[in-house]
Structure formats: C-alpha cells, structure tokens
Amino acid sequence: MSLSSHKVQLLSPAGNLTKLKIALAYGADAVYGGVSHFSLRTRAGKEFSFEDFAQGVEYAHSLGKKVFVTINGFPFNSQLSLLESHIEKMAKLNPDAFIVAAIGVVRLAKKIAPHIPIHLSTQANVLNVLDAQSYYEMGVKRIVAAREISLKDIKEIKKQLPDLEIEVFIHGSMCFAFSGRCLISALQSGRVPNRGSCANDCRFDYEYFVRNTQNDELIPFNGKELYVKNPDNGVMMRLEETEGVGTHIFNSKDLNLSAYIHEILESNVIDALKIEGRTKSHYYAGITARAYRAAIDDFYAGRKNSAFYENELNTLKNRGFTSGYLIHRPYEKNNTQNHLTAISDGNYQVNAEVLENGLYAVCKHTIAQGDSKEIVLPFGADVACGKSELGEIYEENGKKMMRFDRICLENGKELTSIHSGNTNAFKLPLPLPPFSFLRQKTS
C-alpha cells in the first residue's frame, strides 16, 4: 500500500496493561510490549503478565488498534527450547506482529507462526539497502531502521524496496552505542544490554583519578576543565567533572523529533513513527502519544502547531533533547550529549492520575484543599465546566482547571490534603475521562 493512501502509524510503548490503555486513549494507533526476558525490557516484561498481555491484545483489537510483541533479545543456546515455546504461546494471542532482532529468531518465528508478520527490531541495525533487501527476502514485513540512519538513506531503501514498511524512532532515550549494541553494562554490572537488563552504566556519575606512578595510588582529580583531544583532526571531548557529583562522558540526551515531523512525513517513505519508553511513567505514555498524534494529524490537515508539541513534551522528565541523526549526520552536530547530569527533569509535576472509572484518582504529588490543578485530557476528549460540593471545573487562560474544596477518599475519610504516599483513591469533584491527569507547573 502506498503511503499516499493511508496515514503514518503512531506506535507507543506499553510497559503494562494500564500504559497500553493510556497510550491508545491518547492517540496511538498501535502499541508494543513483551512479557518475558526475550524482550529487551525485562523490567517492563515483569510488569506485564501473560494474562494482562492477552487482555491488552483483546482490548486494542476492540478499538481497531494493533499490538506488536517484542521478542527482540539475543538468546543463548540454552534458551532456544524455551524461546520456541514462548513464540508458540504468544502466537496464540493473535498479535499483529512480532518485533524480532536476531536473524535466527526471524527464521524460527516464520517457521512456528508463519501467519504473524515479522517486524525487524532496530537492534538489527539496518542502515542500507543491502541489509534491508536480505531481511525482506527472508519475509520481514517491516524494518525498524537503526536510530543512526539518515532520512536520505531511508529514501533510497524505499526506492529499491517500495513494499517494505519502514518504521523510525522519533522520541525517547538514546544510547551511546549503535542502537543498544553495547557491552558496558555487561562488563561493569553483569547485566547484558542485549538481553534486556541494561543497568544504564552510561548514565553513571564517573569520577576522575590520577595515578601516582611511584606507588600506583589513585588520587582524585578535581579539576574543572579536562579534555581529551584527537591530534589528527583536532576534535576535543570535554571530560568536565563537577566536584561531589562526577562527570557524564557517555550520557546521551533524549531524542525529540517533534520539530521535524512535517519534514519526515513529507518524504513519503515512512510507514510508522515509534516512541521509546516501556519503562517510563503512565504520564509519559499519554503525553508523548498526544503530542505526536497532534503533530501527525496537523500535517495531514495542512496545519502546524510546533509550540504545542514542544511545550507538551517539555512537561516530561528528560535529560535534555536532541534531534538525533535522522535529519542531521552525527558529525554535523555536537549537542547530542548531556555533560551536566543524567537525572531526568521536566517543568511540570503530575499531581494525580484518573482511574479508568473516571470518578476517582490516585495521588502522585500533594493536593490540598483550595488547590487548583490543570486537567490533561486524552486525545480528542473534552470536559464541561461545572461545580459540586467537592470543588469545581473551570477554564483559565485557555486551560481546563480542577479546584478541590474538599478531599474525600474512596473509603469515606476526608482530608485537608493528600500526598503521594497515600495509595487510597480520592473522589473527583466532577467526573473526568478515564486516564486523565492533573498537573502543575514547577518553579
């Protein structure tokens, strides 16, 4: 099918059943996730039981949306029989595709479940027509291109293989290595990145030491400006250490291509846009889906609202943003690394998450009597202003706000304020759409 006859697909991460539902409510066309250590996010896999995943597939299909199963780890010989049974078990759920990285697993999945389409994971590092052609001939329906590929190279792949679907990452954590093909965590922590248990050693706070050549003693180096230089080309890498904190020599900023969605879609060679983040928060799942859903729909409607996309994505905790390598080559820019901190930070705080019944919410940050919080709605949803004995919904500066005059828990107890440590649901002054959020701007 040519791209001119259908919209590009928006694919969101689903680390558990609730995130799956939130991503779909906020505008995703499809979600991806897994339930075992054969997925490259074992932490997310632990949150997703087989029963929950089966329910998620059924739920998505009831909305006319899709679910892709991640089987993108790199198995050892001792795991192959377990892998076979896992593929058989997941195939019975009738997902819309398997996301696979290892070439042998591609062949195995085609043998066991020939009716399930194969999407090739970004871990396979497809960067050129030659590799794309090889996988296509093996029966791969879609390739999730390497994050290091350029749009120019994707155009050439699409030109040579017009029936091969191409998916690209547009948002989320970036890796210091080629699409996650890294050994640092395995060497330092014994946790293998390409089997789903990366410890994110590239984010650690490293400290510098100088070796005393006389006695081999290591002495802390507390200099403020330290660089390494390549004498052949003059390229320098800053190794700046903050005293008491350390330095961040491998720490990549987060990918954010919201400013380039129109340029990407105008190329007419991309079939799906993918958001990273199965281990990120429920709020992340919703906001990323909503921002990129708006950008995609705006493109097809002939409009653009860059300020909205940017502002919404800035409310998320992040390590700073970069546009990565799809539009610009790595050597054309030097702003992809965060030297200052590996801690994610954003300009908004989530106060509450509305439950699926729309009547109650759970607290994520302090709410007190008299407080007003901004309402964040799923994509396309709206809510009317109104009052009740518990509070009010009103509009201020173009935003819907909720004020709390009373805070009443589901168990009937009334409080003057509620904090994140209180896991009891509290009643909303007026109903909100399921999975809405309440938030406030931070200083």
Q: How confident is the model at residue 4 (pLDDT cuts 50, 70, 90)?
A: very low
Q: How confident is the model at residue 432 (pLDDT cuts 50, 70, 90)?
A: very high
pLDDT digits (tens, 9 = 90+) for 172-194: 987 766 666 666 666 567 676 65
Expressed in angstroms, the distance from the first to the final Cα of the chain is 49
Superfamily, domain 9-177+252-322: Aldolase class I (3.20.20.70)
Residue 210 has pLDDT above 70, yes or no: no
The residue ranking higher by pLDDT, 260 or 177, is 260
Closest to 335 (Cα-Cα) out of 201, 199, 174 = 174
Which pLDDT score is estimated for 208?
57
With tokens 């097809």, the residue in question is 300
Which pLDDT score is estimated for 222?
59
Residue 232 has pLDDT above 50, yes or no: yes
Which pLDDT score is estimated for 204?
67
Which pLDDT score is estimated for 237?
59
Closest to 427 (Cα-Cα) out of 397, 399, 404 = 404
pLDDT digits (tens, 9 = 90+) for 383-431: 999 999 999 999 999 999 999 999 999 999 999 999 999 999 999 999 9
Phi, psi of 327 (to 5 degrees): -95, -40
The residue ranking higher by pLDDT, 39 or 101, is 101
Domains of the chain: which residue ranges? 9-177+252-322, 207-247, 348-441
pLDDT digits (tens, 9 = 90+) for 280-296: 999 999 999 999 999 99
Angle of helix 306-314 relative to helix 282-300, nearest 10 degrees? 170
Angle of helix 103-112 relative to helix 80-91, nearest 10 degrees? 50
With tokens 């899709």, the residue in question is 66
The whole-angstrom separation of Cα 144 and Cα 159 is: 17
Taking all residues of the chain, what is their mean pLDDT, rounded to a whole number? 87
The residue ranking higher by pLDDT, 338 or 285, is 285
Which pLDDT score is estimated for 399?
96
The whole-angstrom separation of Cα 367 and Cα 346 is: 19
Closest to 39 (Cα-Cα) out of 272, 197, 254, 219 = 197
Q: How confident is the model at residue 2 (pLDDT cuts 50, 70, 90)?
A: very low
The whole-angstrom separation of Cα 376 and Cα 363 is: 15
Average pLDDT over residues 305-333: 84
pLDDT digits (tens, 9 = 90+) for 106-158: 999 999 999 999 999 998 999 999 999 999 999 999 999 998 899 999 999 99
Which pLDDT score is estimated for 188?
67
CATH number, domain 348-441, options 2.160.20.80, 3.60.15.10, 2.40.30.10, 3.30.70.940: 2.40.30.10
Which pLDDT score is estimated for 173?
84
CB 99 within 8 A of CB 141: no
Residue 212 has pLDDT above 90, yes or no: no
Q: How confident is the model at residue 60 (pLDDT cuts 50, 70, 90)?
A: very high
Distances (CA, A) of 7 to 3, 65, 121, 303, 437: 7, 14, 22, 15, 28
Which pLDDT score is estimated for 106?
97
The whole-angstrom separation of Cα 90 and Cα 92 is: 5
Lowest average pLDDT, out of 8-12, 175-179, 328-332, goes to: 328-332
Instruction: List, as one string, the DSSP characters of 151-197.
Output: HHHHHHHHHH-TTSEEEEEEEE---SSGGG---HHHHHHS--GGGT-
Residue 230 has pLDDT above 80, yes or no: no
Closest to 322 (Cα-Cα) out of 419, 254, 391, 421 = 254
The residue ranking higher by pLDDT, 102 or 242, is 102
The pTM assigned to this predicted structure is: 0.85
Q: How confident is the model at residue 319 (pLDDT cuts 50, 70, 90)?
A: confident
